[in-house]
Structure 1
């Protein structure tokens, strides 16, 4: 399963990308995460159905210092990522 998810709110400057990477590795999720110019965080995640659902649920809250306001998501085709990266 593959999803692209945009997270809005107070999500930059609060270690959102690093914590997302750590959670993804914990769940066996592959893909990437990056900050967007509009202040949101964009991530593409892929893995087993339940792992992707667990990751999405985590993204709804984010790390302790984040304040997530909304999630936008779109299902896509598996890309075959080898790991989970932070893009700059």
Structure 2
């Protein structure tokens, strides 16, 4: 069973390799979806995978890469969309 979540990461999360680090972590965990910068300075992630991998990714997103400072996450559960890989999108 796969689950889908969309997570908006707020804080100092742009210009700190957040998207690249998220891509690498997602691939390691076998998660599909995408990550992008938002115009308000946040980063948005949509991800699908098994519940334990999604939980681990959610925990990681709450911390982020070393140069990031995550203030809070906004989490929305969604319907599976059948993503086949994980991408950085603009």
Fold-level match, TM-score > 0.5? yes
Q: Deviations over 1:15-70 (max 9, x none)?
A: 00000000000000000000000000000011000000000000000000000000
Structure 2, gaps ≥5 residues long: none
1:46 maps to 48
1:67 maps to 2:72: no
1:19 maps to 21
The alignment partner of 2:66 has SS state of coil
How much does 1:13 deviate?
Answer: 0.1
Tell me the TM-score normalized by structure 2: 0.97
Q: What is the aligned-residue RMSD (CA, Å)? A: 0.3
The alignment partner of 1:79 has SS state of coil
